[in-house]
Amino acid sequence: MRTIYAVLLLCFVLFNCDNKSKKEEKGFTYENETTSTESEKSKQETSTPESIAVDMSNKGIGPIQTMDISKKIDKKLAKNGKETFYKLCTACHRPDKRFIGPAVAGILDRRSPEWVMNMILNPVEMIQKDPIAKALMVEYNGAPMPNQGLSEDDARAILEYFRTLKQ
């Protein structure tokens, strides 16, 4: 039995080492991008990576450039989003606590709706190019968010579900 555990551990270590080297070959970096202003540098030195990343003006990288969200929550859309979230996202996310990925309750107080939608729809490029996504990847031990292949309608429903969650 111990031999099986040792073999599994060895496979896990080898897979992770190989995966990291492949990402580095493609120009992927785990380091945060540096900022150009002194106030941002001092903010980085005194804050955790997730709090550094609070930037409501960042729209992310992907198909969503602008969004118009009504003040009233669409309950049917939120219900569909909750179902999709629990089917696809709970392997890494919990609504109200840190897990493999960040808690999603209050996400729209920390990120723009466009950023959230682009992260859902385009996580690979976001992790490679977006400074917030890069910082979160570092904070969450290099666990990348997989591309679930969701449609914009599915991502919008998940976003509507996120609006129902209180931090």
Give per-residue pLDDT as tens, 13-42: 555 554 444 444 445 444 444 444 444 443
What confidence score (pLDDT) does residue 12 get?
53
Second CATH level (architecture) for the domain 51-167 = Orthogonal Bundle (1.10)
Written as six digits, the tokens of 6 are 């040792």
Give per-residue pLDDT as tens, 102-132: 999 999 999 999 999 999 999 999 999 999 9
Q: Which of 107, 122, 135, 128 is nearest to 64 (CA)?
A: 122
Name the amino acid, one letter, at 88: L
% of the chain residues with pLDDT over 70: 68
* Between 135 and 49, the higher pLDDT residue: 135
Task: Enumerate the domain spans of the chain.
Answer: 51-167
How far is the C-alpha of 127 from the C-alpha of 55, rounded, in Å? 16
Average pLDDT, the chain: 79
Phi, psi dihedrals of residue 111, rounded to the nearest 5°: -135, 155
